[in-house]
A and B are shown apart, each in its own frame.
Chain A
Amino acid sequence: KNEVEQSPQNLTAQEGEFITINCSYSVGISALHWLQQHPGGGIVSLFMLSSGKKKHGRLIATINIQEKHSSLHITASHPRDSAVYICAVRYGGATNKLIFGTGTLLAVQP
């Protein structure tokens, strides 16, 4: 069992749909990152959060520390949102090592 689990692994949506990607983890963390990787492209950091909710444009990230769960939402999805979305957690304590989920491949069709 991975320490960081994402669901779904693959997601196909129609343009304009509201999208949710989920991330669950098994131990206490100091921070959680959501990353975006376009096909053949680099990785971009979308959010880093340790509590509550953050919003940037059409993207919203939430985290529930007690339930060890985070969600990434995309409102009014667009084909350019098609990418792999990766959740990564930083454990508490002295280490700053990140543990990555396996990613969610999102395809938004026009």
Chain B
Amino acid sequence: GAGVSQSPSNKVTEKGKDVELRCDPISGHTALYWYRQSLGQGLEFLIYFQGNSAPDKSGLPSDRFSAERTGGSVSTLTIQRTQQEDSAVYLCASSLFGNSPLHFGNGTRLTVT
């Protein structure tokens, strides 16, 4: 596809379960970002991958959150032992280089019950 693809589009999970969210960036894009947007709130930076460099994890809210990017392409964001406050839309974006225009996916709406 031509755009950034995220899956699943919706995820409902029980408190305490682990979830994995997937992002397929645009082919050839070296930079990949994860953000989240809680209901009625602004966008919150989570993690940033650039090429083969060590990721910038400074936005991850707790050690329950982790992300990896395999082969410089697909990324997965994992949330362990989910809590209700983790409920949000998780957005992925990619860009050709670190300082290039961003292309956003449609997000994964996570609901923790």
Contact = CB atoms under 8 A, between A and B. Distances in A.
Interface of A: 30-31, 33, 35, 41-45, 48, 86, 88, 90, 95-103
B10 to A, nearest CB: 12
Interface stretch (B18-26, B64-72, B77-85, B95-103): B95-103
Contacts of A103: 42
A88 B43 contact: yes
Contacts of B102: 33, 35, 45, 48, 98
Nearest to A86: B43
A48 B41 CA distance: 23
Interface residues of B, number: 25
Given A43-B91, A96-B31, A101 B42 contact: yes
Nearest to B53: A94
B8 interface: no
Given A42-B107, A44-B104, A96-B56, A102 B99 contact: no
Given A43-B104, A45-B101, A98 B45 contact: yes
